[in-house]
Amino acid sequence: MSFERAGNAHSSSDQTTVRRANLGVVLQQIAGGEPRSRARVASDTGLTRGTVSSLVGELIELDLLRETGEDQRSGRAGRPGLALELSDRVVAVGLEVNVDYLAVCVEDLAGNVRYQKHVHTDNRRSAPGPVLNRLARLARGAEELIAAESLVSAGIAVALPGLVAAESGTLLRAPNLGWSDIAVADEISSRLGGVPVRVDNEANLAALAEHWQGVARGLDNFICVFAEVGVGAGIFIGGDLFRGSHGFGAELGHITVAPGGLPCQCGAVGCLETIVGQEAIARRAGICEDDKRRARNVTRELVRRAEQGDAAVIASLAEASRALGIGLASAVNLFDVDAVVLGGCLGPLAPWLVADVREALGVRVLSAGWSGCEVLVSEFGEGAAVRGAAALTLRSVLAEPWLVAERSVAVREGVS
């Protein structure tokens, strides 16, 4: 985590700016490592002890920090100071609309999941309105828990499968849902009494979750491929999401890997998604619609059959791993990242994918002999995008801690 300390300033608005920046400096310093005393924060940041004490007081007041035990490593003679750690009272709500499920989670700033719920439901067969009603009900369940446990909600964000205009909160196009131009942020906000709601692409948020609490912690440059029915990716460059000019970048699922292949929901032909998504793998393995409906969870059914040695499923997975290797090697050639993360349904299916992907990166990436790009497997399962939706808010709390007070009031007034 990197940050710059704010310099000296004289006018009162400059002083407010400096103080706010320093609140972020202190909070990020404590978030970035083990609990530590005020004295250690002062020596680590170069701020005076008096300034640190005052900033810490404000952060405790905002429920962002708490005191815990004593810092035995303060390195000073005499009584060790009380150690500070992130408080677990400030939380964020993550929501997710996927093609075949809805999800909600509540995660606190310290990284604990306080509440999580997945509901399997085929949203392809539904108009947006009823789906968003169900999502809002899940959000209300989360808000009830937050109220019951006297937690402080810092905000709500929704992960969506498709092209998202994050600024306007609109889902522009979700080929696998058959939805277009849905103002999801406004729709959810109005169902929750006007609370502010943010939205983002599911694969971007899955990458954010991996960077925040997952297998990509501490990595500044990586590609997270997130597959469920569709296939997307989130690309981290220099410690932040690469979004392209319009926020539409990293649509790995729609790069062409089989010219002349099968038609894709997007209108093109031979996209990676026609070979690698859970539906594509099931279809190529000859698993019929009835079987998929009976199984409910297609990924679990694929794992079950692969473990039993089902030849058609294993052949389909081999085809998927070859296509995925080609797609990821192209992306690594472009972006020179340290790792690729296999997420979503690719996590449980990783035992049948990783070797081929690793081989493709070794053979097809020009710099493979010098850089070495790791293949990591997500541990979130279906939970990555919804965890990322919570992380979107929690990350902004670390960057701008003073906004917590305003946000929590807006959320409380909206929901009550």
Whole-angstrom CA distances from 240 to 94, 129, 403 are 19, 33, 21
- Tokens representing 33 are 């490592």
Shortest Cβ distance from residue 284 to Zn ion (Å)?
Answer: 16
> What residues have CB less than 8 Å from 303, skipping those under 6 apart?
348, 349
Question: Smallest distance from the beta carbon of 234 to Zn ion, in angstroms?
Answer: 18
Q: Tell me the DSSP string of 323-368.
A: HHHHHHHHHHHHH--SEEEEEETTTTTGGGTHHHHHHHHHHH-TTT
Give 264 or 281: the residue with its C-beta nearer to Zn ion.
264
Can you tell me the distance from the alpha carbon of 304 to that of 215, in angstroms, rounded to the nearest whole number?
25
Instruction: Tell me the C-alpha distance between 202 and 242, whole Å.
Output: 14
For residue 174, the minimal CB distance to Zn ion (Å) is 12
- Residue 319 CB, shortest distance to Zn ion, in Å, is 17
Shortest Cβ distance from residue 324 to Zn ion (Å)? 15
What is the residue type of 180? S
Q: Any idea of the CA torsion for 2, 219, 272, 179, to the nearest 10 degrees?
A: -40
**Whose Cβ is closer to Zn ion: residue 231's or residue 340's?**
231
Q: What are the residues whose beta carbons fall under 8 Å from the beta carbon of 264, sequence distance 6 or more?
A: 175, 254, 270, 271, 273, 274
Cβ at position 152, least distance to Zn ion in Å: 42
Alpha helices in 79-159 (DSSP H): 128-148
**257 contacts Zn ion (rule: CB under 5 A):** no
The residue within the footprint of Zn ion, chosen from 266, 326, 328, 386 (CB under 5 A), is: 266
Helix (H, G, I), strand (E, B) or coil at 196: coil
Candidate segments 122-130, 222-230, 268-276, 295-303, binder of Zn ion by CB under 5 A:
268-276
* Nearest-approach distance from CB 177 to Zn ion, in angstroms: 14
Q: Which is nearer to Zn ion, 103 or 275 (CB)?
A: 275
Query: What is the closest distance, in whole angstroms, from the C-beta atom of residue 267 to Zn ion in the complex?
Result: 7
Applying CB under 5 A, which part among 79-87, 266-274, 292-300, 371-379 lies near Zn ion?
Answer: 266-274
- Check binding of 264 to Zn ion (CB under 5 A): yes
The residue from 271, 320, 324, 398 that contacts Zn ion (CB under 5 A) is: 271
Nearer to Zn ion, 280 or 384 (CB): 280
Nearer to Zn ion, 6 or 255 (CB): 255
Query: What is the closest distance, in whole angstroms, from the C-beta atom of residue 265 to Zn ion in the complex?
Result: 6
Residue with tokens 């604990």: 112
Beta strand pairing call for 240-242 and 163-165: unpaired
Binders in 216-255 for Zn ion, by CB under 5 A? 254
Beta carbon of residue 273, minimum distance to Zn ion (angstroms, whole number): 5
Interface characters, 277-296, with Zn ion (x: CB under 5 A): --------------------
User: In the complex with Zn ion, which residue's Cβ is closer, 194 or 261?
Assistant: 261
CB of 271 to Zn ion, least distance (A): 3
**DSSP code of 81?**
P
Nearer to Zn ion, 90 or 276 (CB): 276
> Whose Cβ is closer to Zn ion: residue 91's or residue 266's?
266
Residue type, 177: L
Token pair recorded at residue 206: 């899955």
- Of 268, 295, 314, 377, which one interacts with Zn ion (CB under 5 A)? 268
Single out the segment in contact with Zn ion by CB under 5 A; choices: 3-11, 256-264, 349-357, 367-375.
Answer: 256-264
Give dist(CA 320, CA 315) in Å, integer.
9
- SS3 category, 305: helix
Separation of alpha carbons 410 and 104, rounded Å: 20
54-to-22, 57, 60, 177, 205 alpha-carbon distances in Å: 11, 5, 10, 51, 34
Please give the size of the binding site for Zn ion, defined by CB under 5 A.
Answer: 5
Q: Among residues 145 and 262, whose Cβ is nearest to Zn ion?
A: 262
Closest CA to 315 of 333, 329, 334, 302: 302
Which residue, 254 or 322, is less far from Zn ion as judged by CB? 254
For Zn ion, which is the closer residue by CB, 213 or 274?
274
According to the binding rule CB under 5 A, does residue 314 interact with Zn ion?
no
Task: List interacting residues with Zn ion (CB under 5 A).
Answer: 254, 264, 266, 268, 271
